């Protein structure tokens, strides 16, 4: 159980660092106009699995000169279009102190903090130890202060702050050899291809989950089925569901029903997006 507390602490620290970075930018930076100059396709390998992501390269003007920088995050779908107007946060310190204005920069630290707080709360809820709680609080408060003083004594504060705030400025040389799309026509072809592949995969998953749902529901007990059918007219009976959880086929049907509904929703969304 102690590992839960350790991991939660790491999430809290990262959440605080990312949150401070976000609030520093939003409170000190100017909001400037920019546009999507190109879209970069890149790959990330984790646990022997390679995933493909897309991120925009943003062009903006800083003190009369145009600069290009990459977004600090990517997505599995192409969510931008070349020439799209965007806004950026820019510090007066230099052109490399810039961020794409996006809610993602707020959501990331929020998610880290929620996970960290949830894990820590879970640990202390199951371990009622005043000593451990006091020790944990002291470490979380004193450790950052001690670490800050250590970095300050080594004159590393400015370098670390710059590392957190700086972004990479792109030019023709740095963009060589990378999979970057500058033309709308090429990007549209890639988008259509990805949409077709995504639709086929989602359709296969929807068929698979709905087929599994059909068989699991067929094996559920008549008592469980009557309960589910009865919920349509008596929602107050929902609190009785605990007494039906011993029916594994019912539980499996509920899980499969949820995923089937999500896959169908995704198919509908993808069809509507094409129009």
Confidence of residue 136 (pLDDT cuts 50, 70, 90): confident
Higher pLDDT, 214 or 4: 214
Which residues, other chains included, contact 166 with Cβ-Cβ below 8 Å and sequence gap of 6+? Answer: 96, 97
| Backbone torsions φ then ψ of 87, nearest 5 degrees | -125, 150
**Are residues 169 and 95 in contact, defined by beta-carbon separation less than 8 angstroms?**
yes
Residue-wise pLDDT for 75-122, tens only, equals 877 778 899 999 999 999 899 999 999 888 888 889 998 998 888 888
The distance from CA 14 to its chain's CA centroid, rounded to whole angstroms, is: 14
Residue-wise pLDDT for 152-174, tens only, equals 788 876 777 777 788 999 998 99
Higher pLDDT, 1 or 71: 71
30 burial type by CB count under 10 A (0-12 exposed, 13-18 middle, 19+ buried): exposed
Percent of the chain with pLDDT over 70: 98
Give the model's pLDDT for residue 275. Answer: 58
The yes-or-no verdict on residue 126 having pLDDT over 80 is no
CB atoms within 10 A of CB 258: 12
Which residues, other chains included, contact 11 with Cβ-Cβ below 8 Å and sequence gap of 6+? Answer: 112, 113, 115, 116, 119
Domain layout of the chain by residue ranges: 2-165, 183-274
Give the model's pLDDT for residue 157. Answer: 67
Q: What is the average pLDDT score of the chain?
A: 86
Give the model's pLDDT for residue 212. Answer: 95
Residue-wise pLDDT for 172-194, tens only, equals 899 998 989 888 777 777 777 77
The yes-or-no verdict on residue 128 having pLDDT over 80 is no
Please compute, for residue 151, the number of CA atoms within 13 A of its CA located in the half-sphere on the CB side.
Answer: 12
**Are residues 62 and 95 in contact, defined by beta-carbon separation less than 8 angstroms?**
yes
Give the model's pLDDT for residue 256. Answer: 94
- Mean pLDDT for 36-48 is 85
| Backbone torsions φ then ψ of 74, nearest 5 degrees | -130, 170
């Amino acid at each position: 159980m102690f590992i839960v507390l350790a991991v939660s602490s790491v999430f809290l620290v990262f959440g605080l660092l990312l949150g401070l970075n976000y609030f520093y930018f939003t409170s000190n930076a100017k909001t400037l106009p920019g546009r999507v100059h190109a879209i970069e396709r890149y790959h990330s390998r984790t646990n022997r699995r390679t995933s493909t992501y897309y991120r925009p390269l943003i062009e903006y003007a800083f003190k009369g000169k145009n600069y290009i920088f990459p977004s600090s995050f990517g997505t599995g779908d192409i969510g931008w279009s070349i020439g799209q107007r965007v806004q950026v946060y820019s510090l007066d310190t230099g052109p490399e102190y810039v961020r794409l204005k996006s809610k993602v920069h707020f959501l990331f630290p929020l998610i880290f903090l929620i996970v960290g707080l949830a894990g820590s709360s879970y640990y202390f809820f199951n371990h009622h130890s005043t000593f451990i709680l006091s020790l944990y609080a002291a470490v979380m408060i004193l450790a950052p202060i001690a670490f800050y003083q250590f970095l300050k004594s080594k004159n590393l504060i400015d370098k670390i702050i710059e590392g957190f705030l700086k972004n990479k400025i792109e030019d023709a040389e740095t963009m060589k050899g990378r999979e970057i799309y500058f033309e709308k026509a090429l990007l549209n072809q890639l988008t259509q291809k990805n949409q077709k592949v995504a639709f086929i995969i989602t359709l296969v998953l929807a068929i698979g989950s709905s087929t599994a749902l059909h068989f699991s529901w067929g094996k559920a007990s008549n008592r469980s089925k009557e309960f589910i059918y009865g919920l349509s007219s008596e929602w107050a009976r929902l609190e009785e569901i605990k007494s039906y959880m011993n029916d594994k086929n019912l539980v499996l049907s509920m899980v499969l029903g949820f995923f089937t509904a999500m896959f169908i929703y995704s198919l509908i969304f993808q069809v509507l997006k094409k129009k």
